Amino acid sequence: MRHRRVILFSLFGVVIAVTVGLLLLWALGYSALEGYAYLLEYSLLSRTALFSTLSRAALLVLLGLSASTAFASGALNLGQSGQFLIGAMAATVFGLFVNLPAFLQIPLSLAVAALAGMLYASIAAFFRRRFNMNELIVTLMLNFVADYFTQFLIAGPLFEEGRQSPASPAINASGWFPVYKGFDTGILVALLAFILIYLLWNRSKTGYEWTIMGQNSIFSRIGGCPNEENFTKAMLVSGALAALAGALVIMGGIQHRFMPGIKANYADDGIMIAIVANNKVVATAIYAIMFAIMRTGAMGMELETGVPLEFVHVLTAITVLFVVASREYSQYLIDRFSAFLRARRISSRIEDYAGRDSSGSMD
Amino acid sequence: MGLWIEILRSSILAAIPIALASLGGAFTYYTDVFNVALEGMMLVGAFLAVIGSYFTGSWAMGLLVGALGGLVIGIIFALFAVYMGADHFVTGMALNMFAVGGTTFTLRRLFGIKGALVSSRIVGIPSWNIPLLSKIPVLREVISGHPFAVYIALLLIALSHYLLFRTKWGLRLRAVGEDAQVLDSLGVSSRRIKTLSILGSGILCGFGGAFLSLGYVALFAEGMTSGRGWIALSVINVSRGRPWGLLLVSLVFGFFEGLGMSLQGMGLAPQFPQMIPYIITIVAVYVYSRRERRVKAA
């Protein structure tokens, strides 16, 4: 019952957001419906479009799960973008200096990236546990450090001679994800990660303890859960997921090299996705696909109707606001209404009592 | 000597946007609103200030429009977080994204450009030589001749200190953070005060952003606030929202940013000096947490 209500109000929010998007496009003088039609056409209605939407969705699923795993267990990891970059860099370095057969190279490269992401996330986890430092700010600041550090690497030690702009050389081909008729097999990594994270949350002791800790950390501590350890675990899993997304960018696609700007808006989108999905695993995947459709389709929309693709950034932010507000405001209204009903029941009972006992024993 | 004066001068310039944003955040700090939208408010302020200056040819209009931009984000924040009961963190994050998306979108739409808007039509904030200050030997080289908004910022800090700690309104504002229900039971709307504090933080952050884009430089670049709103958040924590305290902490940040910029000219890879403000922020969080622990232990 409660789930149905949450889903209903989320859908309601999406409908509002789509409407607001239409109105906004219309107000700006674009043909709104046509724009939406192109958005869908360029994200779903051809094989290339569909596969590129899926590739993007794979990244967003990983980053969304990274954020939702952290948030739902009460760890405010906002370091997805840094962990993503470190993961991408680890995959790049591994791919440049190691050359094994593909069946070893690919899994090892992913493992190295995940490990690097964990390591990077563990800095904030360590500071939190050892010095009680707020992980929110530490992870955010480490994003900038990772950004500058990777920029330094591709402009200095890893710079490929002869290029105009900073970028690393391409990684060894054994580390590239095989592509079957346009389908990037890296997508399967995200699928696998999704299944594992789903099981972790719903079928494991750790997942159960995370849920309790996220809802009430004092309760979980008194109940005997090792909160400190669980916090670290959540940070590490979150970091590994973000880093895997980074590895996917390097090992999949066409370029296979670390270039400036590869992080795009993936990490921010991941955080938004986790927020609209209320940190639920399945909902995260669904919203990740929705965001991927919007992002991929936006390019087509720009091409055909001239709407700048940044429009989609605005639209996703508005969607998030409306979904969250409609979810929480409806909860608030329901709470108020039930409080009102309770108050009326109590007051009528008092009146009954006063009516029955009219002999004046009160006072 | 000349280099150090240069560093000190640039540290004042770098400190002011952070000081203004954290001053704004101080208001919400006292009303117990978890305001993570500082970054977005600053970004919108920086963007609209440039737009205002570009189209009107006046830096004053730029500042005004920038502050108004911050105010608008504040209004949305208050509407969602205070009146609709949405989670503060979530609302703030969504607004930050909205700021990033909105500014890049408008930049594309108005000028058809990506990246940065640089134009001779953007009028920056003029510098000011305050008669008295420019008479002091040595010190005048550091504190005189800044964009005049620096001095306005100092006034604002003094004013905020007075407002927060010497007026009835300030007392109520701080009381909201302590226990909002007590205020409501006494007939003072805690929601209204929370809303006002958010609007105030919006204006100040917008102003801080405007200073960044019109005082520090005269251009707008996508995402140019680059974490300053978050740095401001940790400045507030370290200084516990005390206006003069946060000015001091901001100056420390400004100093390291200025130092970083000077180091960039000295043959070091530019990326490492650029990391300095962020690493300093982590150090600041460390200092804060150590002190918290001492307070708890005492």
Measured between CA atoms, the residue of chain B closest to residue A335 is: B85
Total number of residues shown for chain A: 363
Which residue of B89, B90, B272, B295 to mutate against A (max A Cβ within 10 Å)? Answer: B90
Q: Which of B97, B100, B275 sits opposite A144 (nearest CB)?
A: B275
Q: Where are the domains of chain B?
A: 2-292
Give every residue of chain A whose pLDDT is below 50, as ranges.
Answer: 1, 360-363
Instruction: Write out chain B residues lying below 8 Å of A140, CB-based.
Output: 227, 230
Q: Which of A152, A315, A321 sits opposite B80 (nearest CB)?
A: A321
List pLDDT tens digits, range A308-336: 888 888 888 888 888 888 777 777 788 88
Q: How far apart are CA A325 and CA A212, in angstroms?
A: 24
Q: What are the C-alpha distances in Å from A182 to residues A51, A186, A298, B123?
A: 7, 12, 20, 51
Query: Looking at the DSSP assignment, which residues form a beta bridge with residue B220?
Result: B117
Interface of A with B (CB under 8 A): 28, 76, 127, 131-134, 137-138, 140-145, 148-149, 151-152, 155-156, 265, 268, 271-272, 275, 308, 310-318, 320-321, 324-325, 328-329, 331-332
Q: Is B189 helix (H, G, I), strand (E, B) or coil?
A: coil
Q: How far apart are CA B12 and CA A128, in angstroms?
A: 32
- Phi and psi at A319, nearest 5°, equal -55, -50
Residue B206 per-residue DSSP state: H
Are the C-beta atoms of residues A77 and A121 closer than 8 Å to each other?
yes
The token pair that represents A25 in the structure block: 């496009």
Per-residue pLDDT of chain B (298 residues; tens, 9 = 90+): 577 888 888 888 889 999 999 999 999 999 999 999 999 999 999 999 999 999 998 889 999 999 999 999 999 999 999 988 888 988 999 899 999 999 999 998 888 888 888 888 888 888 777 776 667 766 677 777 777 778 888 999 999 999 999 999 999 999 998 888 888 888 889 999 999 999 999 999 999 999 999 987 889 998 899 899 999 999 998 888 899 999 999 999 999 888 887 777 777 788 888 899 999 999 999 988 888 777 777 6
Instruction: Write out chain A residues lying below 8 Å of B97, CB-based.
Output: 268, 272, 313, 316-317, 320
Residue B76 Cα, gap to closest chain A Cα (Å): 10
Q: What is the CATH number of domain B2-292?
A: 1.10.3470.10
Are the C-beta atoms of residues A135 and A128 closer than 8 Å to each other?
yes
Residue A355 Cα, gap to closest chain B Cα (Å): 31
3-state helix, strand, coil in chain B (%, to 5): 75, 5, 20
Q: Which of B109, B278, B290 sits opposite A308 (nearest CB)?
A: B109
List pLDDT tens digits, range B150-169: 888 899 999 999 999 999 99
Q: What is the pLDDT of residue A361?
A: 47
Measured between CA atoms, the residue of chain A closest to residue B279 is: A141
Q: In this structure, how many other beta carbons lie within 10 angstroms of the beta carbon of residue B192?
A: 14
Which residue of B268, B285, B287, B293 to mutate against A (max A Cβ within 10 Å)? Answer: B285
Q: How far apart are CA A199 and CA A184, in angstroms?
A: 25
Mention every residue, 6+ apart, whose C-beta is less than 8 A from residue A166: A151, A154, A155, A159, A259, A260
Q: Where would I find the beta strands (DSSP E) of chain B?
A: 116-118, 219-221
Q: Is B220 helix (H, G, I), strand (E, B) or coil?
A: strand
Q: In this structure, how many other beta carbons lie within 10 angstroms of the beta carbon of residue B213?
A: 31
Are the C-beta atoms of residues A300 and A35 closer than 8 Å to each other?
no
Q: Which of B91, B269, B278 sits opposite A152 (nearest CB)?
A: B269
Are the C-beta atoms of residues B154 and B8 closer than 8 Å to each other?
no
* CB-based burial label for A210 (10 Å; 0-12, 13-18, 19+): buried
Are the C-beta atoms of residues B15 and B181 closer than 8 Å to each other?
no
The predicted complex's ipTM stands at: 0.90
Instruction: Write out chain A residues lying below 8 Å of B228, CB-based.
Output: none
Torsion angle, CA of B183/B189/B194/B195, rounded to 10 degrees? -170
Q: How far is C-alpha B124 from the geometric centre of its chain's CA atoms?
A: 18
List pLDDT tens digits, range B186-203: 888 999 999 999 999 999
Are B95 and A321 an interchain contact pair (Cβ–Cβ within 8 Å)?
yes
Instruction: Write out chain A residues lying below 8 Å of B91, CB-based.
Output: 321, 324-325
Q: What is the pLDDT of residue B13?
A: 87
Mention every residue, 6+ apart, whose C-beta is less than 8 A from residue B236: B22, B25, B26, B29, B246
Interface of B with A (CB under 8 A): 76, 80, 84-87, 89-91, 93-95, 97-98, 100-102, 104-105, 107-109, 226-227, 230-231, 233-234, 237, 269, 271-272, 274-275, 278-279, 281-282, 285-286, 288-290, 292-293
Are the C-beta atoms of residues A88 and A113 closer than 8 Å to each other?
yes
Q: Both ends of chain B: CA-CA distance in Å? A: 44
Q: Could you tell me what percent of chain A has a pLDDT over 90?
A: 55
Instruction: Write out chain B residues lying below 8 Å of A328, CB-based.
Output: 84-87
Q: How far apart are CA A195 and CA A214, in angstroms?
A: 21
Are A313 and B105 an interchain contact pair (Cβ–Cβ within 8 Å)?
yes
The one-letter amino acid code at A103 reads F
The token pair that represents A217 in the structure block: 């950390």
SS (H, E, C) chain A: CHHHHHHHHHHHHHHHHHHHHHHHHHHCCCCHHHHHHHHHHHHHCCHHHHHHHHHHHHHHHHHHHHHHHHHHCCCCCCCHHHHHHHHHHHHHHHHHHCCCCHHHHHHHHHHHHHHHHHHHHHHHHHHHHHHCCCHHHHHHHHHHHHHHHHHHHHHCCCCCCCCCCCCCCCCCHHHCCCEECCEECHHHHHHHHHHHHHHHHHHCHHHHHHHHHHHCHHHHHHCCCCHHHHHHHHHHHHHHHHHHHHHHHHHCCCCCCCCCCCCCCHHHHHHHHHHHCCCCHHHHHHHHHHHHHHHHHHHHHHHHHCCCCCHHHHHHHHHHHHHHHHHHHHHHHHHHHHHHHHHHHHHHHHHHHHHHCCCCCCC
List pLDDT tens digits, range A52-107: 999 999 999 999 999 999 999 999 999 999 999 999 999 999 999 999 999 999 99
Domains and CATH numbers, chain A: 31-306 (1.10.3470)
Q: Which of A76, A145, A314 sits opposite B278 (nearest CB)?
A: A145
Q: In this structure, how many other beta carbons lie within 10 angstroms of the beta carbon of residue B80?
A: 24
Mention every residue, 6+ apart, whose C-beta is less than 8 A from residue B252: B280
SS (H, E, C) B75-135: HHHHHHHHHCCCCHHHHHHHHHHHHHHHHHHHHHHHHCCCCEEECCCCCCCCECCCCCHHH
